[in-house]
Amino acid sequence: MSTNTISMARSHILGEISGRCEPVQSVPVYLNDKYGEILGYADESLGKYADAITFHLDEGFGKKLTMGHFTYSFEFDYINADQAQISPQKRRIRLNSILLVERKGYARPEAKRKAGDTEAKGA
């Protein structure tokens, strides 16, 4: 099994928690939930100023990730207990894992038929 490395912008992956999150240091990446299949790990291996998260995944999941087949969910802890008086929206956090959640497919809508088509077939 070959491993791909995919780097994406930290703000794209973490969204609104990007500014509150400690640097990502080798956190596991799971499929759908933390009890699901472990796909690899993610870190900020490009350095302090790169502002990117690098995923180390096998080739199949790497392609799906770059094509947008997943959404992101996170398992995290608040860092300092002395920040209890600060609202949860402002507390610093440390990631425990990243969950790649598969997007649900949708049913294709049926083709619209003209009113005259059904009558012509019945005659």
> Domain extents for the chain?
3-122
What is the pLDDT averaged over residues 55-80?
Answer: 86
Residue 27 clears pLDDT 80, i.e. is over it:
yes
Sheet of strand 27-31, all strands in order from the earlier edge strand to the far edge:
3-9, 52-58, 38-43, 27-31, 93-102, 70-78
Task: Please identify which residue in the block is written with the tokens 């600060």.
Answer: 86
- The pLDDT assigned to 90 comes to 75
Alpha-carbon gap, residue 94 to 78, rounded angstroms: 6
- The pLDDT assigned to 34 comes to 82
Mean pLDDT across the chain: 80
- 50 pLDDT band, cuts 50/70/90, is confident
Closest to 102 in 3D by CA, of 71, 64, 74, 59? 71
Token couple for 87: 């609202």
